[in-house]
Structure formats: structure tokens, C-alpha cells
Amino acid sequence: MRVSFNALSDTVIGQLGDIGSAQVRLQRQAASGQRIASADQDPLGAQRLLDSRAETEQLAQFAKNISRQRDVATVTQGTIQSLQTVADRAGEIATRAVGLNASQDLSQYATEVNQLLEQALNTANRKYGDGYLLSGTNTRQAPFAATRDSSGQITGITYQGNNGTGDVDIAQGESIDVRIPGSNSTGSGTTGLLADTRTGADLFAHLITLRDHLRSGDVTSINSTDAGRLVADGNHLIDQLGMNAATIARLDTATSANASRSASVAQRTSSITDVDLAETLTDLTRTQTAYQVALQTGAKILNLSLMDYLH
């Protein structure tokens, strides 16, 4: 069967184009280190790459969430420790006041408790970033507001936050909320840090009562009521500190797990996209040689005269 000269030339040119395209692709792979430049080169590999990149982005978001939640938990830990110091000192004063009869000494203690009350209020209204730490999900509102008498002395403190929690994803199917409401009188949900009806804790109210009893010299009430309540407040804060420590430990575990998962995904992504440089250079050299041979052969074929072709 006679093959037309045009068909033969088209075949030679097509083969040269294919080899040239392969050569360009291998040169790009060698230069970039990446095996897939477009989805049509490896549709299955491209889909796997897209999946890996989506997982990488998700893990990066988890890492950000974990980091922020740990920061909040760490600031909360410092807040609890400061409040515990206040409760411990107030309890110590209540214990010492029982053995005192001098009104002057009791008055001095009352002044100190009043200072502890102000300190506790400032600590409880601490902010983290742009939001208040102990307001639940109502972070734009200061959690506690004080009522004062004409002399500026605190007579009562009310909670202005809520008991809401905002779970944050830290892993696939795992979420956490590190925030603690300053107070909870609902009997359910997250335990309030300074006051909770389930435990009887109410640090602000108990500090106010102790101060007033010290000023009036009511040692009997201090002994029978105030001292025990402040011990309970301190124990409540210790429990909160323990839960906070467990939360931080959980976040640290999540950090390690996320880092391990991220490394695994990065390795998988690398296996999809990265070229074997030695193999690629070998293929490139082979392709370049084939291209030169094809050029030489094609030149001979395409330079044949018509008469030579007809023979």
C-alpha cells in the first residue's frame, strides 16, 4: 500500500511534536521539582492533591483554633490563681479575726478585705484581646458590675454575662470550649467560676459579708458562717483550677496530634507532587536523545525528492 508523502510528513511532524512536548514537560518538572503542573497530566493524582491540600488547610485552621484556645485557657488559669489568692487571704483573715476582740484590729482587717474585694472585681473583669474573659459568649459586656454607696464602697456585685459556651473545633469530630462563665445560677451547664448555686460558691457576696462583719465586730458570725464559706470558695476555685489544667493538657495533646497529622499529610502530598529528580533527569536525557534522532530521521525523510519518494 502506497503511503502519501503528506501523510508521512504529518506523521513525522506529529512524532516530533509529541517528543518535544514530553521534553518540555520533563524540563519543567526538573526545574520546579513538581510532577503535576495541570490536572490533565494526571487526573487521579490531581484529585488526590486537591484532597490533600484541603486537609492541609483544615489542619492549619485546627492549629489556629488550638493555639487561641490554649491562650484563653492560660489567661484563665492566671485569673483563677489570682482569685484563689484572694479567697485564701480572706479565709486567713476570718480565722484570725475569731481570736480578736479589739475593734481597731478588726477594722484594719475590714479595710484589707475591702481591698481584696476590689482586687477580685478587677481580676474577674479581665479582658483577653477585645473580649471579656468571664462573660460567657457575651464577651463585649463586662461580666460583673458593682453597686456602690455614697462613699464608693461596694455594696453588691451582679453578673452581667451569660452561661453560653462556644465550642471550637480542634480536630475532626472534636471540639472544645475553654471559657468559664463568671457565675451560674441556673443549676445546669458549665460551673460558674466565682458563683454557682450547685456548690454554694459566691466569693463576692462572702467577701462583702466578711468585711461588714469585721466592721461591726460580729466575730460570732465570722466564726460560724464566714470562715466556712470562704474555705468553700477556695476549694471551689481549686476544683476550677484542676479542670483548667486538664483542659490545657487536652489542648497540648491536640497540638501534638495535629502536628503529627500535618506531617503525615505533607508527606503524602510530597509523594503525589514531587518528582524523583534523578529519574526525571534520566528521562529528560533519553527524550532529548530521541528528539535529536527523530529530527535527523525526519530531515532525511522530508528532504527526499519527489522522484526518490516515487521509487
Q: Report the CATH number that the domain containing residue 141 is assigned in CATH.
A: 1.20.1330.10
Integer Cα distance of 179 and 139 in angstroms: 10
**What is the model's pLDDT at position 307?**
46
**What is the model's pLDDT at position 166?**
78
**Residue of 62, 248, 299, 43 lying closest to 170 (CA atoms):** 62
**What is the model's pLDDT at position 43?**
64
**What is the model's pLDDT at position 66?**
97
Integer Cα distance of 143 and 180 in angstroms: 11
Integer Cα distance of 113 and 214 in angstroms: 9
- Both 296 and 173 in a single domain? no
127 lies in some domain = yes
| Number of alpha carbons in the 13 Å side-chain half-sphere of residue 115 | 9
- Both 282 and 219 in a single domain? no
**What is the model's pLDDT at position 277?**
43
- Both 3 and 152 in a single domain? no
Which residues touch 147 (CB under 8 Å, ≥6 apart)? 154, 155, 156, 157, 158
Q: How many domains does the chain have?
A: 2
26 lies in some domain = yes
Q: What angle do CA 230, 235, 238 make, to 5 degrees?
A: 130
**Cβ pair 98, 88 in contact under 8 A:** no
208 lies in some domain = yes
Instruction: Going from the first residue of the chain to its last (311 residues), give the mean pLDDT of each consecutive group of 10, the final group possibly shorter.
Output: 52 57 55 52 64 87 95 96 97 89 84 98 94 93 97 96 88 91 93 95 98 94 95 96 96 95 81 53 57 59 51 49
E-state strands within the chain: 127-128, 131-132, 144-148, 154-159, 168-171, 174-176, 183-184, 195-196, 201-202
245 lies in some domain = yes
**What is the model's pLDDT at position 215?**
94
Which residues touch 162 (CB under 8 Å, ≥6 apart)? 135, 136, 137, 138, 181
**Cβ pair 233, 206 in contact under 8 A:** yes
- Both 281 and 225 in a single domain? no
52 lies in some domain = no
260 lies in some domain = no
- Both 139 and 202 in a single domain? yes
The crossing angle, in degrees rounded to 10, of helices 43-97 and 227-273 is: 170
- Both 20 and 160 in a single domain? no
Q: Which residues span the domain enclosing 300? A: 1-32+275-311
- Sequence length of the chain is 311
Which residue stretches of 98-187 are H helix?
103-124
**Cβ pair 131, 124 in contact under 8 A:** no
Which residue stretches of the chain are H helix?
5-32, 43-97, 103-124, 203-216, 219-221, 227-273, 277-302, 306-310
**What is the model's pLDDT at position 16?**
54
Provide the 3-class DSSP secondary structure of residue 186: coil
**What is the model's pLDDT at position 174?**
94
Which residues touch 41 (CB under 8 Å, ≥6 apart)? 25, 35
**What is the model's pLDDT at position 256?**
95
- Both 93 and 200 in a single domain? yes
- Quick one: DSSP state of residue 274? B
- Both 127 and 202 in a single domain? yes
Q: What share of the chain is helix, strand, coil (3-state, %, to 5)?
A: 65, 10, 25
**Cβ pair 128, 77 in contact under 8 A:** no
- Both 186 and 293 in a single domain? no
195 lies in some domain = yes
- Both 22 and 108 in a single domain? no
- Both 154 and 287 in a single domain? no
- Both 119 and 196 in a single domain? yes
CA dist 52 → 236, 252, 265, 268, 299 (Å)? 46, 24, 6, 8, 47
45 lies in some domain = no
Q: How far is CA 47 from the centre of its chain?
A: 28
